[in-house]
Amino acid sequence: MWEGYKAMGEALGLTWPFEVDDRTMPHLHQIFGQFFEPSRRNGPLLIGVLAGKALFTAREAATGFLLGGVTGFLLGIAFAHSRLLERGLLPYVVASQTIPILAIAPMVVVWLKAGWLSVAVISAYLTFFPVTINTLRGLKSVEPRSLELMRSYAASPWAVLWKLRVPAALPFIFAALKVSATASVVGAIIGELPSSIQDGLGGAILNFNQFYLSSPPSLWATNVVAALLGIAFFAVVAVAERLVVHRAPEHVA
């Protein structure tokens, strides 16, 4: 598709939405070939460098994902159990998501000092919201009859939560976790920018951006790695979902 669009764009001289040439759209073989070029003169191969950076970013993103997932889940539970909390706090949670991550990130870095932990927190910020909303929706999706059954057993609120509400909410929660999985990678990459962390993919993107004119494929190669990392995160969650969620096919969100 990439090559097709490129060929067509070049043949027709497309200038909209952008001018198509080797600078804006390098050949795929150039992009993938770039992996096996030295990253700098006499340096290690680009693919090795990017793999190292990807691992670094993956650690930030995974930490952020866990942090955001757990925070989101706990907030969802809190909101489901207290009208007051939901009314009082949920609007602020929603508002928090309208603040651009680029405005939040420098503040987090100031508070927590530049480092992979602050990047994880920025990533968590992008992660928790869908989990909160879907946990809340899932916990409330329980049918009145199912609740009555629990009541007939004189079940404690704790038992109702863990034996009924949370299992019923799992398909909703996993739907959110799949969104959050990729968002956590994006969050980690963006989070690296204001902390000027050089060890991750964010740093690499910033770096290759500056040298884009001399070597466009490097940036594209980095983007490919970032996308692969996002896909890997998504796949892990999807596999976990298959192991954990046993619902009728039409119930699985």
Cα gap 65→69, rounded to integer Å: 6
Cα dihedral sign, 148-149-150-154: positive
Q: Which C-beta is closer to other proteins: that of 232 or that of 252?
A: 252
Residues 6+ apart with CB under 8 A from 219: 205, 208, 209, 212
Beta bridge partners of 45: 38
**Shortest reach from residue 76's CB to other proteins, in Å:** 15
Q: Which C-beta is closer to other proteins: that of 107 or that of 159?
A: 159
DSSP state of 214: T
**Shortest reach from residue 127's CB to other proteins, in Å:** 25
Cα gap 90→84, rounded to integer Å: 10
Binders in 194-253 for other proteins, by CB under 8 A: 245-249, 251
Binders in 129-158 for other proteins, by CB under 8 A: 143-149, 151-155
Fill in the amino acid letter for 99.
Answer: I
For the chain, state the CA radius of gyration. Answer: 22
In the chain, what are the helix, strand and coil shares in percent, each to the nearest 5? 75, 0, 25
**Shortest reach from residue 26's CB to other proteins, in Å:** 49
CB atoms within 10 A of CB 231: 13
Q: Which of 55, 99, 107, 159 binds other proteins (CB under 8 A)?
A: 159
Q: Which C-beta is closer to other proteins: that of 40 or that of 151?
A: 151
Binders in 162-191 for other proteins, by CB under 8 A: 163-164, 167-168, 170
Cα gap 185→227, rounded to integer Å: 9
**Shortest reach from residue 134's CB to other proteins, in Å:** 16
Q: Which C-beta is closer to other proteins: that of 116 or that of 174?
A: 174
Binders in 2-31 for other proteins, by CB under 8 A: none
Is residue 77 involved in binding other proteins (CB under 8 A)? Answer: no
Cα gap 33→30, rounded to integer Å: 5
- Total interface residues for other proteins by CB under 8 A: 24
Helices then strands (H, E): number in the chain? 11, 0
Q: Which C-beta is closer to other proteins: that of 55 or that of 149?
A: 149
**Shortest reach from residue 168's CB to other proteins, in Å:** 7
Q: Which C-beta is closer to other proteins: that of 166 or that of 197?
A: 166
Q: Which C-beta is closer to other proteins: that of 20 or that of 139?
A: 139
On whether the CB atoms of residues 203 and 192 are closer than 8 A, the answer is yes
DSSP state of 38: B
Interacting span for other proteins (CB under 8 A) from 20-28, 127-135, 159-167, 194-202: 159-167
**Contact positions vs other proteins (CB under 8 A):** 143-149, 151-155, 159, 163-164, 167-168, 170, 245-249, 251
